[in-house]
Amino acid sequence: MALLDIRDLHASVADIEILKGISLTVNAGEVHAIMGPNGSGKSTLAQVLAGHPAYEVTSGTATLDGADLLDMEAEERAHAGVFLAFQYPVEIPGVTNAYFLRIAYNEIRKARGLDELDPMDFLDLLEEKLKVVEWGPEIMERAVNFGFSGGEKKRNEILQMAVLEPKLAILDETDSGLDIDALRIVAAGVNKLRSAEKAIIVVTHYQRLLDFIIPDYVHVLAGGRIVKSGGKELALELEAKGYEWLTGATEEVTAR
């Protein structure tokens, strides 16, 4: 069974249809890159999978391990193993990173019928996970994303992903706005989390990230549809030719 199975997914926000029939199958162990011009629906797809309440799925299905993903609340999707690294991570003042991560980790464990990890054991776990993003412990006493630079926020998303160990991680433009050092750290963090049991969907506007995270499959989204799929060589082709040769056919859609 596929880990994630999306069939003919249509979704709207404020009565405007953004996704116009997406079908995509992602198996455990795979890394899929979703590329496309601005406004193509990439971020919408990421948010719809994570359960953003502002997006309305009008038809189609999406299952995770065969379970109906679209029927779940956002937190239930997290409990089931979905993780979205936000394009714009949200600031939570007054709540330390350490506390936030422990609560999240334990809420997910509780939902799966597992015992909560006590604070000391959790600290040990955190210490390991901090290495994934090459951070020292001081970051854990700062409030979640509060006063973080853009690069720090993205790194923090990867740290959260490392701690929560999702089955399906969706990275929504995690590379946008990163300098090359931050990009290297973020990409290395993602690569450390690749495994045969997990799948990663990398949503990106730029081919650059895919020099660091080598995808198994590349899909081009335009006008709310996947207009081309291929292997990692497709990313290079996009780099050389741009999106126009693919999006021309759907011009009436992208012109919105």
Partner 1 sequence: MMTTAALVTPSAARGVVPVPITLPTSKDEEWRFTPLGGLNAFAFQLSERPGTLGGADLTPYRFGHPEWPTVVVVDGRVDLAASHFPALPAGTRLCSLAQAIAEGDTTVAAHLRQHVTPAATPFTALNASLSVDGVFFHVPAGVACSTPVHVIHVATSASAGVTIAPRTLAVIEQGATATLIESFVALDRNGSYFTDACAELVLGENARLEHIRVQRESAAAHHIGFTQVDQQRDSHYRSFVLQLGGKLARHNLHARLNASNIETLLYGLYLTSGEQLVDNHTAIFHNEPHCNSWEVYKGVLTDASRAVFNGKVFVEPVAQKTDAKQTNRNLLLSDTAKVDTKPQLEIFADDVRCTHGATVGKLDELQRYYLQTRGIAGQTAQALLIWAFVAEVMMEITVEPVRAALEATVRERLDRMIA
**Minimum distance of partner 1 from residue 90's CB (angstroms):** 4
**Minimum distance of partner 1 from residue 167's CB (angstroms):** 13
**Minimum distance of partner 1 from residue 91's CB (angstroms):** 8
Select 72 or 249, whichever has its Cβ closest to partner 1.
Answer: 72
Q: How many Å apart are CA 225 and CA 11, to the nearest integer? A: 11
Select 81 or 215, whichever has its Cβ closest to partner 1.
Answer: 81
- Cα dihedral 198, 201, 140, 178, rounded to 10, equals 140
CB 91 within 8 A of CB 145: yes
CB atoms inside a 10 Å sphere around CB 233: 9
Select 108 or 139, whichever has its Cβ closest to partner 1.
Answer: 108
Select 145 or 247, whichever has its Cβ closest to partner 1.
Answer: 145
**Minimum distance of partner 1 from residue 105's CB (angstroms):** 8
CB 134 within 8 A of CB 185: yes
Long-range contacts of 80-84 (CB under 8 A, 24+ apart): 80/167, 81/166, 81/167, 81/168, 82/49, 82/50, 82/51, 82/166, 82/167, 82/168, 82/170, 83/160, 83/161, 83/164, 83/166, 83/168, 83/169, 83/170, 84/46, 84/47, 84/49, 84/50, 84/170, 84/172
Select 100 or 212, whichever has its Cβ closest to partner 1.
Answer: 100
Q: How many Å apart are CA 155 and CA 135, to the nearest integer? A: 9
Select 74 or 123, whichever has its Cβ closest to partner 1.
Answer: 74
Select 143 or 236, whichever has its Cβ closest to partner 1.
Answer: 143
Nearest residue to 253 (alpha-carbon basis) of 206, 229, 221: 221
**Minimum distance of partner 1 from residue 50's CB (angstroms):** 5
**Minimum distance of partner 1 from residue 60's CB (angstroms):** 21
**Minimum distance of partner 1 from residue 198's CB (angstroms):** 17
User: Measuring CA to CA, how many Å separate 168 from each of 32, 69, 91, 210, 215?
Assistant: 11, 12, 23, 18, 14
Under the rule (CB under 8 A), what is the footprint of partner 1?
A: 50-53, 73-75, 77-79, 82-84, 86, 89-90, 92-95, 100, 103-104, 107-108, 111, 143, 160, 164
